[in-house]
Structure 1
Amino acid sequence: MTTRLDRRFAALKAEGRAAFVTFITGGDPDFDTSFEVLKGLPAAGADVIELGMPFTDPMADGPAIQASSQRALRNGASMKKTLDLVRRFRESDNETPIVLMGYYNPIYHMGVETFLTRACEAGVDGLIVVDLPPEEDDELCEPAMRAGLNFIRLATPTTDDRRLPAVLANTSGFVYYVSITGITGSASPEARNVAEAVARIKRHTPLPVAVGFGIKTPAQAADIARAADGAVVGSAIVDAIAKELDSEGRAMPGAAERVLGFVRTLADGVHKARAAAAE
């Protein structure tokens, strides 16, 4: 079965450019602002959207994304409301792929079967669940695949050639290469190292490889876009949202549009980089 992710990456490959993949946390800082940003991301240049599932203990994430989860949870975020965001988004956009990203606990709490049914009904395309290794594929990965969802795995600088086949075995949609060791937003990747890592992964799989962690500026996004099939930006966008909050933690008027303006600068870096490289 061809998915939205398959179609999007195939279309981008035909255009000769990399995907710009954005991450925001569902419900950050509140449901309405989060939806306004989510709805505006495709027009701002996002090719694929990762939507974070708020969780109390996001251990692989840095301070920015941890804080975004806390803001969302304080304002009533839940798995049901995260899926509601996707459902509302699908009312006007049936093409842009949405991948839910986060941890297994909220999915387990809802119940795997119930979660997968509701996710598919809402219009979710894939899952990135960072704390479930390949050895636990029967827990969520295999049921998700049977439900028609892509299951995207993370590969890291420490994923060697012996481990990589296990990581890739049930991966679909794309491979997410974590370009640095450590937590999100903690450092910036080196383009040369990324290019070498992407080439190594591609020796094991025909899937697109998107690279994330540490991309903060249009120039950095452009560098990664020249080396990979996609550039993922999360912490920098989440930081832009945090800067739009007043002293009481509420979104200021016009916050979403200013955040989307920043997203456009990142998108321009990604799209122009690959277009220039193809000339």
Structure 2
Amino acid sequence: MLDPAEALVLLATGEMQIEGRLVDASNATLLASVTADGLTAACVYKPVRGERPLWDFPDGTLAGREVSAYLVDQALGWDLVPPTLLRDGPFGPGMCQLWIESEPLEELVDLLPENRVPTGWFPVFGGVDGGGRDVVVAHADDVRLRRLAVLDAVTNNADRKGGHLLLTAEGHLYGVDHGLCFHEENKLRTLLWGWGGEPLADDEVAALTRLRGELADGEPLEQALSEHLTVTEVRTTIRRVERLLRTGRLPNPSGHRHAVPWPPF
């Protein structure tokens, strides 16, 4: 796999060739290749003109939100989001993200019979499968998933599905599809509620403290986010970081039910 810095240069400067389309995506999501200086890599290209209008997010902003999630992840220092940037492509400006080859995710998130949740896993919500059997969506108590839960709390991710988690053969976990992030209203919807209310670990506090410093007025990260988000959305992001540091705990779902995306995978 390319070094992240090399990947960003290749994504930004490489000649893009469309290879196909991911038909299950709700917005136009194209598989492409980028080539420059003898290097070629696969990438995901989401042109802004292919974004489906939503009632609660401004039109034409999803690509910038994906880039913003990458920038926040880089500030946290966790490498949870693949290299991502905005660039022009065959169908105009759009998000371009390094393609990640992934393995099955059952070791981290799964749909299980209600009475077979492994030790060390958190059940999130239950239901009934097509055969009338009681089942539960659950996830492992894993530091990689937990860091994604912290990232999602910061970015206010409204769509953390199981299908948006990618596990490489080397065991590195990535999160993708961050278009529905950074809304000024609380919209956190995720499968990763297992740590709700738990105290933040020391390394999480350190990462959030570093992030808060980089979000200060005039700092490069604050200015970069302002290119993609509204002033209110940037300020609300800062308040979410400050709230996490003040309470010292991961957020709990509001109300009596876990707010989860649908479908969950």
Higher strand fraction (1 or 2): 2
Q: Whose RCO is larger (CA < 8 A, sep 6+)?
A: 1
With the shorter chain as reference, the TM-score category is under 0.3
TM-score if structure 2 supplies the norm length? 0.26
Answer with 1 or 2: which has the greater Rg.
2
Higher helix fraction (1 or 2): 1
TM-score if structure 1 supplies the norm length? 0.25
